[in-house]
Structure 1
Amino acid sequence: MNWIWILVRVTGLTAYFLLTLSLLAGILRHVPRNKGFYLSFHQIIGQVAMLFIGIHAFLLLFDQFQPYTLAEIFIPFASSYEPLLSALGTIGAYLLLIVLFTSDFMKMIGRSAWKKTHYLVFPLWLVSFLHGILMGTDSSAIWAPVFYWSTFTVVIGGTVYLGSVMTRSKKLSH
């Protein structure tokens, strides 16, 4: 049994799931009740997702089927194995780093710049979705597409909800 491969998959799937939960908690933060809980959960889960992404990338150095080099991990499109799909994972990780970093310095960069940067979570989640569903070696198993498309549906629904809440709040403020 190839334990590295299993751990690469588990950490990747876990990172994606945590990223999805963090995105949804960020959306739910706009619900009037429990804002503090959702904010704390959103922040912590986003950071834990980054940790799992780091472990996922680190383990790729030791994969027996397709070992990656440091350059292939850190430079988008440098991978000899599925360069586009690998790049999506790398780009998603960089986008998450930007979001986390700017969140730590929100007061310094200003709320407006932070908010604009924070919306990178949507393309970052989408490239993570594409990376997982198209590159994941488990994608041919029945559970994987069900998992990915279920999260896709929930995130789209949450995004539509967020858009309606924001539109409603703009109308009320005028």
Structure 2
Amino acid sequence: MNELLWYVSRGTGVASIALLTAVLVLGVVTAGWRRPHGESATVVMAVHRWLSLGMVAFVVAHVATAVGETYVNIDLVSAVVPFTSGYERVLVGLGTVAVDLMAAVAVTSWLRPRIPERVWRGVHWAAYALWPVALVHGFAMGTADQPVLRGVTALCGVVGVAAVVWRLLSSSPDRQRRDAVLEERWT
């Protein structure tokens, strides 16, 4: 049974980072100046929300199986309070930080109709910290003899970085128009 929990923990961890990366990419797309409009925006936001919910479910399963398996000792407190684990304190702690950030983003998203928009947006920006912290946790805690798991995590890193770079480099239509006006000759 313990071996099964170990495999489920690794599998749900990799599925979690893959889902988190997909959620990040969709979030970046919907937050940018080139975001979809109309029905396609509704579909993209719905997929973003449903994948987020799925990611939360996989993270809960990942944490539960990591705490439940006894190959290494990770207790429930270490799953909630960062850097308290007796096993790989820093790396497990990074995973805990990611879980705590995920919980904050999830709770404020659930409460979004009841809280000010700027509060929700401020907490939602934590996702930009959540993703790299989770990525480092997953890559560093990944088993060395499991190249597929590390490969998936590395691929998620490439895809996530590409999405964020695209977001940073994409300019608003208004900015493009202002630049065009500035380039015109004023004689």
- TM-score norm. by structure 1 comes to 0.88
- Whichever residue aligns with residue 92 of structure 2, its letter is S
Q: 2:172 aligns with which of 161, 168, 173?
A: 168
**Computing the radius of gyration over CA atoms, which structure comes out larger, 1 or 2?**
2
Cα deviation 1:78-134 (Å, max 9, x = unaligned)? 101000000111110110111111112223332222222211111101110000000
Q: What corresponds to 1:3 in structure 2?
A: 4
Give the Cα–Cα distance (whole angstroms) in 1 for the partners of residues 150 and 62 of structure 2.
20
Please tell me whether the aligned partners of residues 129 and 148 of structure 1 are also in contact (alpha carbons under 8 angstroms): yes
- The alpha carbon displacement at 1:12 in A equals 1.0
- The alpha carbon displacement at 1:135 in A equals 0.9
Please tell me whether the aligned partners of residues 85 and 134 of structure 1 are also in contact (alpha carbons under 8 angstroms): yes
Structure of greater relative contact order (alpha carbons < 8 Å, 6+ residues apart): 2
- The alpha carbon displacement at 1:136 in A equals 1.6
Q: What corresponds to 1:21 in structure 2?
A: 22
Q: 2:104 aligns with which of 70, 75, 98?
A: 98
Gaps of 5+ in 2: 179-187
Gaps of 5+ in 1: none
Cα deviation 1:125-171 (Å, max 9, x = unaligned)? 1110000000122x443323332222111111111222233x42562
Please tell me whether the aligned partners of residues 74 and 90 of structure 1 are also in contact (alpha carbons under 8 angstroms): yes
Q: 1:145 aligns with which of 141, 145, 150?
A: 150
The root-mean-square deviation of aligned C-alpha atoms, in Å, is 2.0
Q: What corresponds to 1:122 in structure 2?
A: 128
What fraction of aligned residue pairs are identical, expressed as a percent? 24
Cα deviation 1:4-39 (Å, max 9, x = unaligned)? 110111111111111111111112224325211111
- TM-score norm. by structure 2 comes to 0.83
Match runs of 1:34-73 below 5 Å? 34-73=40-79
Please tell me whether the aligned partners of residues 95 and 121 of structure 1 are also in contact (alpha carbons under 8 angstroms): yes
How many positions carry a matched residue from both structures?
Answer: 172
